[in-house]
Structure 1
Amino acid sequence: MSPSPRKNQELSVTVTQLGARGDGLAVDDGGNRYYVPFSIPGETVRIRVGQKRGDGFATDLLAIESPSAERRDAPCPHFGRCGGCALQHVTDPAIADFKRQLVEKALARKGLTDLPFDTPMTTPPAARRRARLAILRLKGRSVVGFNERMGKMVLDLKQCPVLSPAIEKLIPVLRNLANDLPALGKGGDVQITEGDTGLEVVFAPTRNADLSLEERERLLAFAEAEDIARIAWESDGYLEPVAGRRAVRVSFAGVPVDLPVGSFLQPSRDGETHIAGLVRDGVGDAQRVADLYCGCGSLTFPVATLPHQPIVFAVDGLDSQIGALRRAAAGLRVTAGVRDLAKDPLSVQELNKFDAVVFDPPRAGAASQAETLAQSEVKRIVAVSCNPSTLARDLRILVDGGYVIDRVVPVDQFTWSAHVEAVAILRRA
C-alpha cells in the first residue's frame, strides 16, 4: 500500500476529472486521491495536502502550473471564499459537459447506461429568483450573505451575479434592517422569493422568538419603503405573515397562482419553462394525467392547458399548496388532493386510471411511488428530479418494472454550482 501524504506536504499533481462537489480530482502514482478546489481536468497544479476527506484528501490550491483552455476569469470578486459557487472559473461548455456527466454517472451506478442524453439546459446569470441567505448579527452591525466555502462563517455579500437584480438590490437594505430586529438574536436565515408581483421575504431566526410591536412596525415600514409584496416571520415551525401588501403571484402557462407563504418555486423562470416544456412533450396526447408532488401547479397547468385539454389530477402533501392550486384551476379540467406520497403512494389500481404520470419529488426521491408505478399499466412517465442519485434509484425501479427510458435531459438552474436537475421521459415497453 502506498504511504499516505503528510499534512501540509506540497505536491504537483494532474487533475483528471471534476468531482461531485465541483472540485478537481487528482490521483498520484501511489493511488492517493486529492480533491483540488478551483481546478479543471487536464491541469497540472501545485497543492498543499490537508485533512482526510472521504476516500482522499482535501487540499489547498497553491498554483496552476499548466492551465486548461477551459479556464476563465471568475465574474464575481467573492469567488473562492463564497460557498455558493464552485465553477465560476470554468467555461460554460465545460460546465454543461460536467453537469451531463453528473447525471450520466449517477444513472450508470444503477446500471442505466447507453441512454439518449440531450444537451443540458443552462440558466443564465442574474436569473435566480429564489435564495436563502444567512444573517449574522454582530456588535453594531449585521452580515448578510452565503456561508463561506468549507466553513461556518457568513460572507458579507456585496454583489452576486447569480441572483436576480431585484434580490441582489435588497441585500444591503436587509443588512441595515437586521440591526433593528433584536428578535433575530445572533442571526438566522432570510428566504427571498421573487414572484411576478414582487418579493416575498421570510425571516427565520436561529432560535425561536416573537417579534415586538416595534419590530412589527419596522417591518411594515420596510415593506412600504422597498415595495415588498409580503414579509413573514418563521418561529417554532409556524410561518406568520407580518406584512401583506399584495399577493405573491406567479403565472404557470398563463394561469395566475397566488403562492402561500414560503411556497416552493423553481429557482428560475427559464428553468421552470424548460422543464414544463419537457413535461408537455413527455405526456404527449395523454387524456388523463396525474401530477404527483405537484406543489402549486408549475407542471399541472402547463399540462392542463395543452391543446387537447387533458384531465389532470394533482397531488401534494401540503394543504396550503393544494388550496392555492385549486383556487387557480377554476375553469380547467383539474382536480387536486392532499396526500403524503412517501407514506401513502397512489396504488396500482389508482394509477391505472391514467395514461401518463408526472412526478417531481423532493431530494429524497419517490421510491415508494416508483414501486407502485413499476407494477402499473401507465403508458408514459415523466420523472423530474433535483437529485441525480435518487433519480437513478427511482428509474432503476421503473426499468426493472418494464419501462424504457426514451430521453434524459439535464437542467442546470444553479449557475456555477455543482448541483444539477434532470428530466427523464419513459414509456411502457
Structure 2
Amino acid sequence: MAKAEMFDVEITALGAQGDGVGERDGMPVFVPGTVPGDVARVAAKDVRRNGIYADLVEITKESADRTAPLCQHFGTCGGCQLQFLKQDAYAAWVKDRTAMALAHHGFDAGLVKDPIITPAESRRRVALKALRVASGVVLGFNERQSHQIVDVKKCPIARPELTRLFGPLRDLLVSILPQRMAATVHMTVAASGVDMLIDAAKPLDLADREALVDFANTHDIAAVHWQDQGFLDPVAIRREAVMDFAGARVPLPPAAFIQASDEGEAALVKAVVDACAGYGRVADLFSGIGTFTFPLAKDHQVLAAEGAKNALDAMQAAANVATGFKQIVVKHRDLFRRPLSTKELEMFEAVVFDPPRAGAKDQVEQLAQSAVSRIVAVSCNPNTFSRDARMLADGGYELESVQPVDQFLWSPHMELVGVFSRK
C-alpha cells in the first residue's frame, strides 16, 4: 500500500494507546481521533508488520459514543486523546484494556473490577513546556509525537490552582528567558500550597531573583526552585512543600513523584490498605516518599525500601517526628540491582511493591519463590504488571483481583492494584 493512499474504514475497537482500530485486507488500521462505531476516511501514513497507521481525513459517520470535547486545545494538544468519548464507553475501554493485557498472560477478564475514574480538574501535578519567542512565551504541552508546543490557555484536567498560574507564568518567563530558550515548569499542589521548579539552562541574575520572589509572593506560591543544568537553586521558600499521608507531614523534594491526583491516591491507598488488613509486618518496596508507607503504618510495622535517596530522606524526616504510627524502618536500597532476597522476605507477611513503568522483574522473581502470604502489586503499566503477575502465578500465587484506577483522564495511562495470595 502506498503512503497517503486514502480509503474508508469502519472503526470497531480502541487500541491500547487510544487509537481507533479498523481493518483493511486483513490488516489492522490504527486511526487517532476515532472511536468504535465511526466510519472514517483515512490516509495511510505508515505500513508496518503489525498494521497500517493512518491519519484521519474526515468522519463520514459518527459513532453514538462520541461527545463534544471540553478543551479548546483538543486535537492539537498531545494529551487527552479520548476526550471525545462518552463516559460509559471510556470506562469500559479502561477496564477492557486492563483485561486484554492480563489475557495475554493467561488471566481471566473476570478478575478486573470496574475502574475508578478521577474527575476533571483533579490533576495536581503538571510539567509545562515553555519557549521564549519574539512575541512572548509559548507555554503548554507538546503536540502528539512532536516537540511543537501548544500554547495552552486552559486545561480541563488540571487543578484550578495550577491553571490560573498559566498566564502569570508567561509574563514571568518573558522577563527571564532569552530568545529561543526553552524551559520546563514543574508544578505540584502540595498540602502547603503550590510547589514550583523551573528547569532552564540559565544562571539567575539579581533582577531574575527579584522577579521570581515577587511572583511567589503575589501568587502565594509555597516554594520556587530554579534548576540550571542540574544545579538546584532554592530561590523563594515561603513555606516548606509537604504532603500529608495519613496525618504524616512529609517534605516534598522539588518535582518529586507523587500520585497525580488526591482522588487517585485515595483510591490506590484504600485498595492497598484493605488488601493488607489482617496481615502482620509489611514491606513497602519502591516506596517513594511514603504514599503507602504511612497509611500502612497505622496498623502494621512497615519496612520502606527505596533507591532514590532524596525521597528516602524525606520519608525518614517525617517518620522521625510523626505520631500515631507503628514502627517504620527506612531502607536505602536499589531494588533493581539488589532486590530483597527470599531470605530477607521471610520476616514479612505482606509485601507491597509499586515500581516504575518497566515493572520489577528481578524483585518479582524473588517474591515468586518466597513464602509471603499476601502480595499487593501497584502498577502504572498493564503490560508489565501482567508479565509480573504471570511470574507470581507460576510461582504458586493466585491473582484474586485487579482494581484499575484512572487518574490520567482521557489518556492511555492508568494505575492498577493487583492482589495475590499464596495458594
Q: Name the TM-score, length of structure 1 as normaliser.
A: 0.94
Query: What secondary structure, in the 3-state scheme, does the structure 2 residue paired with 1:182 have?
Result: coil
1:88 aligned residue: 83
From 153, 158, 162, the equivalent of 2:153 is: 158
User: Where in structure 2 are the equivalents of 1:29-428 lying within 5 Å?
Assistant: 30-52=25-47, 55-182=50-177, 186-205=181-200, 208-305=201-298, 309-329=299-319, 330-331=322-323, 332=325, 333-428=327-422
Structure 1 residues 115 and 367, CA gap change in structure 2 (3 angstroms)? farther
> Which 4+ residue blocks in structure 1 deviate beyond 6 angstroms?
none
Query: What secondary structure, in the 3-state scheme, does the structure 2 residue paired with 1:146 have?
Result: strand
> Partners in 2 of 1:237 and 1:387 — Cα distance?
29
Contact kept in structure 2, 1:110 and 1:393, CA below 8 Å: yes
Contact kept in structure 1, 2:350 and 2:375, CA below 8 Å: yes
Identity across aligned pairs (percent)? 41
> Partners in 2 of 1:38 and 1:100 — Cα distance?
20
> In the alignment, residue 112 of structure 1 is paired with which amino acid?
F
> In the alignment, residue 348 of structure 1 is paired with which amino acid?
T
Residue 112 of structure 1 deviates from its aligned partner by: 2.5
- Bigger Cα displacement from structure 2, 239-248 vs 367-376: 239-248
Residue 105 of structure 1 deviates from its aligned partner by: 1.6
* Count of paired positions: 419
Contact kept in structure 1, 2:224 and 2:237, CA below 8 Å: yes
> In the alignment, residue 9 of structure 1 is paired with which amino acid?
E
1:19 aligned residue: 15
> Partners in 2 of 1:264 and 1:220 — Cα distance?
25
Contact kept in structure 1, 2:196 and 2:254, CA below 8 Å: no
Residue 77 of structure 1 deviates from its aligned partner by: 1.2
Contact kept in structure 2, 1:374 and 1:398, CA below 8 Å: yes
Structure 1 residues 243 and 367, CA gap change in structure 2 (3 angstroms)? same
Query: What secondary structure, in the 3-state scheme, does the structure 2 residue paired with 1:70 have?
Result: coil
Query: What secondary structure, in the 3-state scheme, does the structure 1 residue paired with 2:351 have?
Result: strand
> In the alignment, residue 335 of structure 1 is paired with which amino acid?
V
> Partners in 2 of 1:238 and 1:337 — Cα distance?
27
Task: Give the root-mean-square deviation of aligned CA atoms.
Answer: 1.6
Q: Name the TM-score, length of structure 2 as normaliser.
A: 0.95
Query: What secondary structure, in the 3-state scheme, does the structure 1 residue paired with 2:72 have?
Result: coil
Contact kept in structure 2, 1:24 and 1:35, CA below 8 Å: yes
Cα deviation code 1:247-291 (max 9, x no counterpart): 112211222222122211100000000000000111111120011
Query: What secondary structure, in the 3-state scheme, does the structure 1 residue paired with 2:112 have?
Result: coil
Query: What secondary structure, in the 3-state scheme, does the structure 1 residue paired with 2:52 have?
Result: strand
Residue 156 of structure 1 deviates from its aligned partner by: 0.3
Contact kept in structure 2, 1:241 and 1:261, CA below 8 Å: no
> Partners in 1 of 2:51 and 2:14 — Cα distance?
14
Query: What secondary structure, in the 3-state scheme, does the structure 1 residue paired with 2:198 have?
Result: strand
> Partners in 1 of 2:408 and 2:9 — Cα distance?
29
Residue 53 of structure 1 deviates from its aligned partner by: 5.6
Cα deviation code 1:275-318 (max 9, x no counterpart): 0000011111112001111111111111111xxx2111111112
> Partners in 2 of 1:358 and 1:382 — Cα distance?
5
Contact kept in structure 1, 2:131 and 2:139, CA below 8 Å: yes
Residue 196 of structure 1 deviates from its aligned partner by: 1.6
> Partners in 1 of 2:280 and 2:46 — Cα distance?
56
**Structure 2 unaligned spans of 5+:** none
Structure 1 residues 310 and 183, CA gap change in structure 2 (3 angstroms)? farther
> Partners in 2 of 1:68 and 1:110 — Cα distance?
32
Residue 106 of structure 1 deviates from its aligned partner by: 1.6
Cα deviation code 1:392-413 (max 9, x no counterpart): 1211111111110001011101
Structure 1 residues 200 and 49, CA gap change in structure 2 (3 angstroms)? same
